[in-house]
């Protein structure tokens, strides 16, 4: 079912807002992650780890899930379809992977935050905690690739897309002679 123009524009605006919000939230997270990876100050580390958990759970995860959902709505409700073009499939696949990695990584983020929240944790222990910087920067790169795919929409229809296109071509009405 193809959405009407008003509903399509509303869904597109929602999808863009959620997706851009996701990218912005990850940018904020990367800044905190970079500060945690480079700081030796125990107070800074505590603050960063605690803020990273809050941003991850209350901003990034909801935006990721909402962007995924609105992306599905957009693909199913517009001419692009979910299985017609490779760029849509790749965008969906990358979004699902990014969301799953995010959900798995929240366990590490929560672990770091729990350690940082414990007042008995020494400065040494805080400094010895790892970093999620590789995941956060990698996630940002994946989100920017998805953004580029959705803006440039590279050519390439799937076999399903070609079959659907062929099925919609009008019959020219020429009868074969027998």
Query: pLDDT tens digits for 112-149?
Result: 999 999 999 999 999 999 899 999 999 999 999 999 99
The pLDDT, as a whole number, for residue 173 is 54
Using the Cα atoms of residue 49, residue 55, residue 57 and residue 61 in order, give the sign of their dihedral: negative
> Does a structural domain hold residue 82?
yes
pLDDT over 80 (residue 56): yes
> Does a structural domain hold residue 168?
no
> Does a structural domain hold residue 113?
yes
> Does a structural domain hold residue 172?
no
Q: What is the dihedral of CA 59, 62, 68, 72, to 10 degrees?
A: -130
> Does a structural domain hold residue 170?
no
Please tell me which residue, 161 or 50, carries the higher pLDDT value: 50
> Does a structural domain hold residue 31?
yes
> Does a structural domain hold residue 67?
yes
Query: Using CA atoms, how far apart are residues 116 and 120, in angstroms rounded to an integer?
Result: 9
pLDDT over 60 (residue 10): yes
Residue 131 phi/psi, 5° resolution? -135, 150
> Does a structural domain hold residue 176?
no
**178 pLDDT band (50/70/90 cuts)?**
very low
pLDDT in tens, 64-116: 999 999 999 999 998 888 888 999 999 999 999 999 999 999 999 999 999 99
pLDDT over 80 (residue 1): no
The pLDDT, as a whole number, for residue 81 is 86
Please tell me which residue, 145 or 167, carries the higher pLDDT value: 145
Range of the domain at 97: 5-163
The pLDDT, as a whole number, for residue 167 is 84
pLDDT in tens, 26-53: 999 999 999 999 999 999 999 999 999 9
Return the SS3 of 157. Answer: strand
The set of residues, in sequence order, having a beta carbon less than 8 Å from that of 44 and lying 6+ positions away, is 35, 36
User: What is the total count of domains within the chain?
Assistant: 1
């Amino acid at each position: 079912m193809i959405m009407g123009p008003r509903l399509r524009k509303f869904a597109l605006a929602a999808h863009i807002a959620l997706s851009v919000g996701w990218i912005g939230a990850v940018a904020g997270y990367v800044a905190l992650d970079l500060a945690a990876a480079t700081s030796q100050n125990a107070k800074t580390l505590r603050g960063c780890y605690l803020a990273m958990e809050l941003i991850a759970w209350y901003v990034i995860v909801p935006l990721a899930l909402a962007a995924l959902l609105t992306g599905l709505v957009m693909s199913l409700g517009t001419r692009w379809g979910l299985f017609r073009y490779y760029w849509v499939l790749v965008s969906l696949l990358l979004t699902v992977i990014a969301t799953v990695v995010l959900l798995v990584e929240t366990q590490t983020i929560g672990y770091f935050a729990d350690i940082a929240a414990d007042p008995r944790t020494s400065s040494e222990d805080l400094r010895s905690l790892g970093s999620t910087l590789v995941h956060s920067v990698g996630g940002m790169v994946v989100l920017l690739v998805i953004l580029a795919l959705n803006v440039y929409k590279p050519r390439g229809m799937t076999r399903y897309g070609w079959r659907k296109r062929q099925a919609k071509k009008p019959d020219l009405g020429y009868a074969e002679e027998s």
